[in-house]
């Protein structure tokens, strides 16, 4: 073996590896049944399926109604649960539509925490007052967002099968 050849042999092997590494195509994006296309196209489709603010509001409205009946039933654990889920629904909505966040500030930082505390206290009168204050802030945000025609009032009928 000619030992002088070892460095060049090593270089040749290294070059072959580097050549193959550089030549590799990026992996094809995985394709689903209907979420298909490039990574960017797929991300846009997934974002579209998550919707904007409307579905956050449909969820919030259901939970607002359940919160009301939880108060009527004095089912405080259920009231605490629904008040927490309203927070999650709106936070997720604002993550999707951050431009709406300033209009929601009073709701998120004052009215909703007060509502949560009232539900936790189990004090019926405090709960009722907080619910009215919360309702005002729903409508305040709707006014600020130019959708004042969504006028929120205490619900008249139960929507779910949850009773106490
Ligand atoms: C960002 C401030 C904001 C807050 C706080 C807010 N809303 Fe809304 N709400 C909106 C906006 C904006 C829309 C219209 C959404 C759209 O056009 O995609 C809306 C729409 C709605 C709708 C109609 C949804 C539909 O598509 O059918 C209901 C119902 C609703 N809100 C209920 C509530 C209730 C109940 C509360 C309080 C517990 C509340 N909202 C708090 C901004 C807010």
Q: Does the CB atom of residue 152 touch ligand 1 within 6 A?
A: yes
Q: What is the mean pLDDT of residues 80-95?
A: 98
Task: Kindly state if the Cβ of 58 falls inside 6 Å of ligand 1.
Answer: yes
Which of these ranges, 7-11, 28-32, 60-64, has the smallest mean pLDDT? 7-11
- pLDDT one-digit tens code per residue, 114-135: 999 999 999 999 999 999 999 9
Asked if pLDDT for residue 19 goes beyond 70, the answer is no
Q: Which atom of ligand 1 is nearest to the CA of 54?
A: 18
Across the range 151-161, mean pLDDT stands at: 97
Looking at residue 16, its pLDDT comes to: 67
Torsion of CA 80, 133, 113, 77, to 10 degrees: -10
Calpha distance 73→154 (Å, rounded):
15
Q: Using a CB cutoff of 8 Å and minimum separation of 24, what contacts does 38-47 make? A: 47/96
Any idea which residue has 């094809």 for tokens?
28
Any atom of ligand 1 within 6 Å of the Cβ of 142: yes
Q: What is the pLDDT of residue 8?
A: 73
Distance 132 CA to ligand 1 centre (A): 16
pLDDT at 1: 56
Across 128-161, b (16+ Cβ under 10 Å) vs e yields eebbebbbebbbbbbeebeeeeeebeebeeeeee
Through-space distance between the first and last CA atoms of the chain, rounded to whole angstroms: 90
The CB density around residue 85, as the number of other CB atoms within 10 Å, is: 16
91 lines ligand 1 (CB under 6 A): no
């Amino acid at each position: 073996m000619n030992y002088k050849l070892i460095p060049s042999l090593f270089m040749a092997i290294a070059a072959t590896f580097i050549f193959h590494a550089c030549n590799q195509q990026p992996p094809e994006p995985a394709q689903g049944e209907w979420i298909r296309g490039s990574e960017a196209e797929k991300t846009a489709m997934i974002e579209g399926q998550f919707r904007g603010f409307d579905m956050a509001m449909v969820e919030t409205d259901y939970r607002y109604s359940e919160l009301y009946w939880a108060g009527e039933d004095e089912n405080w654990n259920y009231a605490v649960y629904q008040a927490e889920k309203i927070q999650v629904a709106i936070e997720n909505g604002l993550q999707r539509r951050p431009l709406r966040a300033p209009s929601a500030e009073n709701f998120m930082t004052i009215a909703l925490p007060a509502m949560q505390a009232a539900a936790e206290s189990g004090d019926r009168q405090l709960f009722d007052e907080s619910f009215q204050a919360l309702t005002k802030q729903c409508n305040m945000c709707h006014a600020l967002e130019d959708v004042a025609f969504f006028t929120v009032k205490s619900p008249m009928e139960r929507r779910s099968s949850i009773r106490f």
